[in-house]
Chains A and B, each alone.
Chain A
Amino acid sequence: MTFIHIAIFLPVIAAIAIAIIYRYVKDVHLGWFVLPVPAVIAAYLFSLIPTVSTDGPIHQNLNLMPRIGMNFDVYIDGLGLLFAILISGIGALVVLYSIGYLSKEEKLGNFYVYLLIFMTAMLGIVLNDNVLMLYFFWELTSISSFLLIAFWYTKDKSIYGAQKSMLITFFGGFMMLGGFIVLYIITGTFSIREMIGNVDLIIDSNLAPFAVVLILLGAFTKSAQFPFYIWLPDAMEAPTPVSAYLHSATMVKAGLYLVARFTPVFAFSELWVWIILLGGLITLVWASFNAIKQDDLKGVLAFSTVSQLGLIMSLLGVGALAVATGANEEIFTVAVVAAVFHIINHATFKGSLFMVAGILDHETGTRSIRKLGGLLTLMPISFTMTLVTALSMAGIPPFNGFLSKELFLEAMFEISHANFSALADWSVLFPILGIVGSIFTFVYSLKLIHGVFFGDRSYDTPKEPHEAPALLLISPIILSALVIIFGLFPNILSGTIIDPAAMSILGTDTALNTQISHWHGFNNPALWATVAIIVIGGVMYIFRNSWMFIYDYHKEHFTLNYLYDQGLLYSQLGSKKATDGVMTGFFRDYMVYIFGFFVLFSIITTFFTGLPITFDDFADVGIQDMVLVIIILISLAIIMMTRSRMVSIIMLGAIGFSMALFFAFFRAPDLALTQLSIETVTTTLFLVCFYHLPKKSKHEETIKFKFTNFIISVGVGAVVILFGLSAYSNRLFESISQFHIENVYELAAGGNMVNVILVDFRGYDTLMETLVFGIAGIGIYALMKAKVKGKDDNNEEHA
């Protein structure tokens, strides 16, 4: 346990305190108590930057379950530190923003406890070398995300969105665990660094493709990649601070983190590169295309987030080429730098955009772009922030989004130089997809700015629009300022954060010395691509009304959401049907299952193990024994056949008394006595009950019913006989009886061995037996005396 471990768990520890404070402090907004937590962690992590970038990764192990290899192995390298700073830094801003956003009447205790749990989970994912712990924290983020989406749990949409996100991300997380296990089978370790060290084993293994697909399922579901992105737009039902934090800046980037972290492991795999590259680009194009038609501000931002995540994903795909074809291939390391840079940039501009969307919602009462408009003069600060951040997202200079977008386009053009798989043959495809996605991005960015702040002032907003209070503005202003600062001076990041992170993705120790510049000369294809994007995008936005009709062709029945809803519906119906088919509610059916499986498994087991039976060492059979056997058999036959209850009760008594005689013959006088007296009482009881029961009862039993019962009972009987014989012929060890016989007088000073065993050697058993007897007695008393509500009169009559 070191200070770093405590720092990771600090939010959860604080959550306990917050829950208590929430109960007693009502005057101050709870957020003020939460705010120091991420702020302190962020400050601490910032202080680690010089250490990590000069001295290399920090490594602190804490053994949790070393036997199964699950240890909290904290490992802070450039990549982990970058994510951790984003998590705590944006976390602090989001908490500050939430103080203005959520009123004190909301369930703030729940909100902040979930948020703090999420922080710990997220820090645990990125500052950790053990995949089992990674999985643990991974699912914890899904759980806290579920709780936060369902924060307004009275709304159906919130519940729907929460369930959807949970099902999809849990599915992915579970697949990912499978991938980790496959990797464990190959390499014999749960440590990511050791896996990277054993990459030769993974290259040689046939199982590697399974690991690739399973781990990518985890990454794609979490990072909302096509076709799993459908949960993210529905997750927008969460309060806006949550959307800004979990569903834009941090949690959805966990998938990117996973891909980046495993790049040194899987870069050799063609499957890995193709899936990430194409999956990312398809997500980019498809989600940005869909973002344009959204009317809800947060809907636009949700699809935008999905598409930007796709962009980063595809960059990581190109980055894998750098590892696969040698880390010195500078043209591909550009992609990794771009990916890391864009992760930072996206967090700044999208976080800010979400917060502005929340402000608009808060101050106008609606998030519908159609209802908003002409807010420029009413909300100038919000407008400025939207302008800066949306243009950054669109890739317009001089903002930071421009720099990383240009690096992205450059990387797409560079694929043509790739000497890997068939990538070079398809190299035309990648820049085109990248440019098309960027054009759509440009269009919806314009729509955000123009649709909300320009045009006619609309008057059908539920609230009178006015600029937000300072509390809501601070956080987005800070983020917008960062957009400008990073845009103008990108190299304050490159040496300190980007390079160490890129180096850990590439798995190399050689310094990169990245210099991000705004101008690459006229020969750069990315420059012309940017110009083309702006021109085409601008034209498309101006003439938007003439092509928007293509969205109408997207039929309801062909969407992934429809597939998900139907899948969910039918899996629920199917499981209900299956459950109803098995769980009939009839006692007899359950007994059939029990006995049936007893017979079935006994047969299967004996089939594999054999059942040795020897026929020797039997005592003689006397005449009197045979007489008893025959009496019992006849009584049984009568019970089976008779319809009269009286007869079966008497026959049951006959069996009982025969048993007592058996005991007498087999030299068990105590048993014989007990059996005699008990049998007498039991028979009396049966007769008393008989008196109260109806004369005739209708139990129509079909032949099929009887036949099933017959087969099962014969099976049970046969199994009992076989197992009995086998147990009798195979004595595996000496019985303890001899000890009892020898010590009955010395230890217990008694003569009757059975009695001594009962009251002395096994005294506690007998004590418990009396307990059972007592409980049965209480039960009987209660059954006789208790009255059922509403049926009192009826009872009196019978009693």
Chain B
Amino acid sequence: MELVTIILSGILIASATYLILSKSVLRIIIGISILSHGVHLMILTMGQLKRGNVPVLDDSVSTYTDPLPQALILTAIVISFALTSFSLILLLRNYKELGTDNTEDMKGVPHGD
């Protein structure tokens, strides 16, 4: 299973890279979202998968899944949500001000031109 998830996260990150390199801001933001999915999956895999029980204390259970990656990912999900929302609003505002969502057209135009 770990082999599969590592490869899957590699594919996710590769696709994210491809999207981030494109010209459309929306695609870049989608890329960032996918990137965070790939990274979450990778972190989770590093704690090994499907070993032991759900990490909630229970007297009848002796082994638990590694809780640390889960804690890390929980933080990461929230942060990446903040990032995604901020980028989206930035895109929106950008489009309203500049009239484009193409990064090529956004190159620093001298003020006053």
Binding site for B on A (CB under 8 A): 584-588, 591-592, 595, 615, 617-622, 625-626, 629, 632-633, 636, 639-640, 645, 648-649, 652, 655-656, 659, 662-663, 665-671, 674-675, 678, 681-682, 685-686, 689, 692-694, 697-699, 701, 708-710, 712-714, 716-718, 720-721, 724-725, 727-728, 735-737, 740-741, 744-745, 750-754, 757-758, 762, 765-766, 769, 772-773, 776-777, 779-780, 783-784, 788, 791, 794-795, 798
Contacts and interface: CB of A to CB of B under 8 A. Distances in A.
B65 A666 contact: yes
Contact of B15 (A640, A712, A791, A795): A640
B70 A668 contact: yes
Nearest to B38: A720
Given A662-B41, A667-B55, A713-B21, A619 B49 contact: yes
A697 B102 contact: yes
A671 B5 CA distance: 16
Interface in B1-47: 1-24, 26-27, 30, 33-34, 37-38, 40-42, 44-47
A728 B92 contact: no
A720 B10 contact: yes
A697 B105 CA distance: 12
A595 B38 CA distance: 16
A172 B29 CA distance: 51
A652 B30 contact: yes
Nearest to A710: B18
Interface of B: 1-24, 26-27, 30, 33-34, 37-38, 40-42, 44-58, 64-68, 70-71, 73-75, 77-79, 81-86, 88-93, 95-97, 100-104, 106-108
A686 B68 contact: no
**Which 10 A-B residue pairings sit nearest by Cβ, starting from the closest?**
A717-B14, A721-B10, A753-B67, A776-B82, A713-B18, A713-B17, A757-B71, A751-B57, A753-B55, A619-B1
A740 B19 contact: no
12 contacts: A625-B4, A636-B11, A640-B19, A667-B53, A678-B77, A682-B85, A694-B101, A720-B9, A728-B45, A758-B75, A766-B75, A779-B86
Contact of A674 (B26, B74, B86): B74
Contacts of A753: 55-57, 64, 67
B74 to A, nearest CB: 6
Given A681-B81, A737-B66, A645 B26 contact: yes
B65 A629 contact: no
Given A709-B22, A737-B68, 19 more contacts: A585-B108, A595-B17, A632-B12, A640-B15, A648-B30, A655-B34, A665-B50, A667-B53, A692-B96, A693-B92, A710-B18, A712-B18, A753-B55, A754-B55, A757-B71, A773-B79, A780-B86, A784-B93, A791-B97
A666 B18 contact: no
A632 B95 contact: no
Q: Which of B27, B30, B47, B108 has the most CB of A within 10 A?
A: B30
Contact of B56 (A587, A595, A752): A752
A693 B85 contact: no
Contact of B1 (A620, A659, A698, A780): A620
Contacts of B21: 588, 591-592, 595, 708-709, 712-713
B106 to A, nearest CB: 8
A663 B44 contact: yes
Q: Looking at A636, A656, A667, which has the most chain B CB atoms within 10 Å of its CB?
A: A667
Mostly helix, strand, loop or mixed at chain A's interface?
A: helix
A724 B18 contact: no
A681 B30 CA distance: 14
Contact of A754 (B11, B70, B85, B95): B70
Nearest to A668: B70
Contacts of B64: 741, 753
A757 B79 CA distance: 17
Contacts of B27: 648
B93 A744 contact: no
Contact of B45 (A656, A659, A714, A724): A724
Given A595-B17, A619-B50, A656-B37, A697 B24 contact: yes
Given A636-B34, A737-B66, A682 B23 contact: no
A735 B79 CA distance: 24
Given A585-B107, A693-B95, A740-B68, A701 B3 contact: no
Contacts of B46: 724, 727-728
A762 B47 CA distance: 18
B22 to A, nearest CB: 7
Contacts of A717: 10-11, 13-15, 17
A652 to B, nearest CB: 5
A779 B89 CA distance: 9
Nearest to B68: A737
A752 B26 CA distance: 38
Contact of B78 (A619, A645, A769, A783): A769
Contacts of B85: 682, 685, 776, 780
Contact of A639 (B15, B86, B90): B15
B91 A689 contact: yes
Contacts of B37: 655-656, 659
A579 to B, nearest CB: 15
Contact of A701 (B12, B22, B75, B84): B22
Most chain B Cβ neighbours within 10 Å, of A622, A674, A795: A674
A658 to B, nearest CB: 9
A108 to B, nearest CB: 39
Nearest to B31: A639
Contacts of B15: 636, 639-640, 713, 717
Contacts of A666: 44, 49-50, 65
B65 A668 contact: yes
Nearest to A586: B107
Nearest to A761: B71
Nearest to B10: A721
A621 to B, nearest CB: 5
Given A625-B4, A681-B81, A741-B64, A752 B57 contact: yes
Contacts of B53: 667
A479 B107 CA distance: 64
A15 B66 CA distance: 64
A678 B68 contact: no
Contacts of A665: 50
Contacts of A669: 54, 56
A315 to B, nearest CB: 59
Given A668-B70, A670-B74, A716-B13, A745 B57 contact: yes
Contacts of A795: 96
A62 to B, nearest CB: 51
A697 B24 CA distance: 8
B19 to A, nearest CB: 7
Contact of A685 (B38, B54, B84): B84
A665 B82 CA distance: 26
A659 B11 contact: no
Contact of A751 (B49, B56, B106): B56
Nearest to B102: A699
